[in-house]
Amino acid sequence: MRQIIAMGGGGFSMEPDNLLLDQYILAQVNKDFPKVCFVPTASGDQTSYIERYYKAFNTLPCQPTHLSLFEPNFKDLEKYILEQDVLYVGGGNTRNMLLLWKDWGLDAILKQAYENGILLAGLSAGGICWFEEGLTDPLNAPLYKLGCLGLLKGSNCPHYDGESKRRPSYHQLILEGKLKEGYGVDDGVALHFVNETLSKSVSSRPNAKSYFVRRTHNQIVEEEIKTLYLGT
């Protein structure tokens, strides 16, 4: 079974006191203590980000590690990646992250990991990267399918409710045919894909939502996706 969990925002890095999405990710692996590897490339392997990851995941039933491409902490990159159960990609600069992955050959290894059944997850840049295209960075520049991994069809827009320019920019680019139709994902929401098909939408915040956004008769149509709140 192939799985991708793409978050619009949230998880330990945005909600350190609310780990519902992180717990959900771990629950999808049929192991008591899965090996979880954090991939913070998009942030330039920011030390404080890595420290926050360990602070959170050391409280969860798993074996946390991280991957550094700036100060390599592995001998064999392919072996290191394929030994994991979960690959959790952090936020930051999507374009720079993908360029560095390609330079290391990590893009191909991630595709192999996916085919091998390793769960792929992430937020923001770590959510965009699995699709063909995405809306990324503060300038809202579209990132086209040649840059993204293309494991999932269509496009992705994270922080749909969290950054005021995201939603209108996403609508405009889809309306102009410059971006494929796809998913607008609020902060605190995760889209769970199984074998490239959307299985469910879950959230760590009671009112957070996700949408499928498409163009019909030169108008934008937002279809709200039923989202399950993971809290009580």
From 66, 159, 171, 192, active-site residue: 159
Alpha carbon distance 181, 157 (integer Å):
10
Contact 194, 209 (CB under 8 A): no
Question: What are the backbone angles phi and psi of residue 99, rounded to the nearest 5°?
Answer: -65, -40
Half-sphere exposure of 215 (CA within 13 A, CB side): 16
List % helix, strand, coil for the chain (3-state, nearest 5). Answer: 25, 30, 40
* Token output for 16: 């350190």
Residue 192 annotated as catalytic: no
State the DSSP code for 42. Answer: G
* Token output for 144: 């086209």
Residue 124 annotated as catalytic: yes
Return the ∠ at Cα 139 (arms to 216 and 99), rounded to 5°.
95
From 13, 124, 204, 210, active-site residue: 124
* Alpha carbon of residue 171 to chain centroid: 20
Which residues does the annotation mark as catalytic?
124, 159
